[in-house]
Amino acid sequence: MYKGFLVDRGLINADPHFLNGCGSCHKGNEGEQTKENAHKGMVKRPSDDLKICGNCHDAIAKTYMSSLHYTTAGQRNGILKRFSKKEQKIFDEKVFEKSCRSCHASCGDCHVKGPVISGISIGLIKGHKFVKRDEGKTCAFCHGGRIYPEFTGEYGGTADIHYQKGMICLDCHKNYEFHGDGNIYSSRKEVKGRPACTNCHKIGQEKNERARASHVKHKEKLSCQACHAAASYRNCYGCHLGQGATATPGFLLGISPRDRKTVTTLRVIPTVRDTFASAGIKMESFDVLPNYWDTAPHNIRKRTERTRSCEVCHKEGENFLSRETLIKDGSRANESLIYSIKSIKK
């Protein structure tokens, strides 16, 4: 260690980020001899101000400023329709900035030190070394509640086939998804060029006739994951401000709320009628949005129960939403996601 700090001596000359000294980013007083004096005016998280990183990485900093990882706009816009205009103002002031915005990611959160989530942090990723990527510590830490454990098989017990073949997040998700492309998006669904199964697995190029016929028949009617998600994935219920939610494994199929012609896997979003009651928000338009949203579980397999037998869906109706299985006291919009299963014509 270098003078008691969490910086390896070898980094000082090897990493260009240290050329101008610690103070170039962290401020403080480098010339002082005591910790107390040296730390006066020190900035613990310099990359919260994008201008700091922008001094050298100007192009990336400019696009990142409008990226969803930085603005967390997707979380805000995803729920606004439930509020009256008065409630929107309360939400922005009392809830979003103080709670939801904790998922805001600075440059340093991915390249130097993991963020604090629920009071827990992985600390420095690699001794204050600036790392280009370390998916097991960065992607996995922030997306470790749902996506990454499903991908690796730690949740549900079935790892994604892409993970088993050695693929990582950035094999599908490209830099512009993280750093932004300069455009302002209200949600990730608007981002152009997002990963799609058919980018690699072209319909019509299957190796056997049965798979080819099935894909052609279900094209634009069924999402890929509706058949190829292999196991239960995390669904959360009963979210209350300051108290969190309860997670339960499940597998749900129904009509996509964003694309009414497509049947897909759905995930429960745990907003209930009194989620924000403690902040004085009743959600006057609660029933405008459903509690189930289209999702792409990251536990894909070539063969699943639904690919082995058409009857799993068309006869048994396995995993499909029904009025009996809808969450209790949920949004009335949930009923519009129930799909009437068509029997197989013989």
What pLDDT is attached to residue 248? 92
Q: Which two tokens stand for residue 211?
A: 């798979």
State how far the Cα of 17 lies from the Cα of 24, in Å rounded to an integer: 9
pLDDT in tens, 127-160: 888 998 888 888 988 888 889 999 999 998 899 9
State how far the Cα of 128 lies from the Cα of 113, in Å rounded to an integer: 7
Q: Please name every residue paired with 174 in a beta bridge, in sequence order, or none if there are none.
A: none
Q: What angle do CA 212, 215, 216 make, to 5 degrees?
A: 85
Report, as an integer, the average pLDDT of 286-292: 97
Lowest-pLDDT range of 47-51, 97-101, 215-219, 332-336: 97-101
**What percentage of the chain exceeds 90 in pLDDT?**
67
pLDDT in tens, 195-245: 999 999 998 889 889 899 999 999 999 999 999 999 999 999 998 887 888
The secondary structure of 188-236, three-state, reads: HHHCCCCCCHHHCCCCCCCCCHHHHHHHHHHCCCECHHHHHECCCEEEE
Greatest Cα pair distance, the chain, in angstroms, is 85
Q: Answer whether 255's CB lies under 8 Å from 334's CB.
A: no
What pLDDT is attached to residue 6? 64
Q: Answer whether 299's CB lies under 8 Å from 231's CB.
A: yes
pLDDT at 9 over 90: no
